[in-house]
Amino acid sequence: MIRSSSSPLPAEVSNVLPESIRVVTGDPLDIVSLLRQAHHPGAGAVVLFSGEVRDSNKGREVAYLEYESHVPLAEKMVHDILDEAREKWGLKAAIAQHRIGKLAIGQSAVVVITAAAHRREAYEANQHIIHRIKHEVPIWKCEYFSDGTHQWGNNCNC
């Protein structure tokens, strides 16, 4: 729970990714709302990763990024990755959301949240999930540089 005013979700609700969370979305990621959905009375550790747009990459000044995705396949793959992680690490909650479209410097491109009884599992699962999302899921980054050029990414943003 991030605020004392919000009540913990029952296990059977927060144990699955709520239908309302779109894995791939064109809207700004609402980290606060996602965190709220990751809370669980049996979770002693919540880890959140936010991948954000940096102002430069390999010495070149970045103006903005644009992400595209094959959404149906991406959503299915992310759900599978989260399900596997939930089972492997006994997670109380596992949430991921990736933004597509145009992103400004500092905006969040991807958020991964894991909740577990103990912190080792929450960190490990979180790193595993973001690694797989970056390397396996059909989502692509295009960097638009301040000099007017652009480049489809092969390299990680973070």
Partner 1 sequence: MKIHVYAKLKDYFSPEFELDAVAHNTDELKLRLLEINGEAGQILDSCRFAIEEGFIDHDHKLKENDTVIIIPPSSGG
According to CB under 8 A, which residues from 69 to 88 bind its own copies? Answer: none
Shortest separation between residue 98's beta carbon and its own copies, angstroms: 15
Using CB under 8 A, which of 88, 138, 146, 149 touches partner 1?
A: 138
Cβ-based neighbours of 49, under 8 Å, separated by 6 or more: 110, 111, 112, 113, 126, 127, 130
Residue 37 and residue 95 in contact, taking contact as beta carbons nearer than 8 Å: yes
Q: How far apart are CA 20 and CA 27, in angstroms?
A: 13
Out of its own copies, partner 1, none, which partner does residue 15 contact, by CB within 5 to 8 A per kind?
none
**What is the end-to-end Cα distance of the chain in Å, rounded?**
28
21: contact with partner 1 by CB under 8 A: no
Stretch that binds partner 1, among 27-35, 55-63, 83-91, 138-146 (CB under 8 A): 138-146
Out of partner 1, its own copies, none, which partner does residue 140 contact, by CB within 5 to 8 A per kind?
partner 1
Burial of 93 (0-12, 13-18, 19+ CB in 10 A): buried
102: contact with its own copies by CB under 8 A: no
**Closer residue to its own copies in complex, CB, 70/119:** 119
Please choose, from the candidates 152, 154, 117, 145, the residue with its C-alpha nearest in 3D space to the C-alpha of residue 54: 145
Dig out the tokens for 9 from the structure: 């979700």
For residue 147, how many other CB atoms are within 10 A of its CB? 9
Q: How far apart are CA 35 and CA 112, in angstroms?
A: 10
Shortest separation between residue 10's beta carbon and partner 1, angstroms: 25
Contact residues for its own copies (CB under 8 A)?
1-4, 7-8, 28-32, 35, 39-56, 104-108, 117-119, 122-123, 126-127, 130, 156-158
Please give the residue ranges that form the binding site for partner 1 (CB under 8 A): 51, 67-70, 72-73, 76, 98, 109-110, 130, 133-142, 152-158
